[in-house]
Amino acid sequence: MEKDLGNYRKSYEKSELLLEDTPENPMELFRNWFNEIDAHFPEDETNAMTISTIGLNGYPKNRVVLLKKFTYEGFIFYTNYQSEKGKAIQNNPKVCLSFFWAGAERQIIIKGKAKKIPKNLSDGYFESRPRGSQLGAIVSNQSEIIQNRAFLESKLKELEIEYEGKEINRPEFWGGFIVKPIEIEFWQGRPNRLHDRIHYKLNTDFNWIKNRLAP
């Protein structure tokens, strides 16, 4: 099988990103971009991000997860700690996050270290989830082999009966990670592949150094 994609081309012309227009703290620029995308592209999941980890087998792996909170400290998402992703992070906390917003011709690449958030924060978020999502977290032994989908649906029905009228507590194997960034790159598509790339790096004094990178 062969397909030549050499003629796939698009000219990026929607915006620009100038170093002199960027704030000193990259989290402020992230907030601004996120809010712009959220306002102008409501049909998309603005908080969908790719997370890259190094697996226990030494290979990198990417998958899309949902960002659930961001602060000046970092980026928070939730997962099963015993999943392939969870085990990889606990073995090697160095991860990379990326956002690609095609409609705005923008992407953001974030390097950082992930760590578990406090249990009470995971409890609070779990309580805010719909009951179906709460039960789904308990049902799924994420990343483990199962015989068929019927197994999952049957297990869900059993739990619905078991927890009917009862509070559902967060299982210990499920919770949040926060990724604390050490580098953040903002990419704005430009014509002729001369894209704007503004790179921030965290200094030892916890201030950010920013530079323009060649496209």
Mention every residue, 6+ apart, whose C-beta is less than 8 A from residue 40: 103, 104
Choose the catalytic residue: 129, 190, 193, 212: 193
Segment holding 121, helix H or strand E: helix 119-128
DSSP assignment of 64-109 equals: EEE--EE-SS-EEEEEETTSHHHHHHHH--EEEEEEEEGGGTEEEE
Task: Give the whole-angstrom CA distance, residue 170 versus residue 128.
Answer: 11
Length of the chain as a residue count: 215
Q: Is 149 a catalytic residue?
A: no
What letter represents residue 209's amino acid?
Answer: I
- Give the bridge partners for 125, in sequence order: none
Catalytically active residues, by annotation: 193
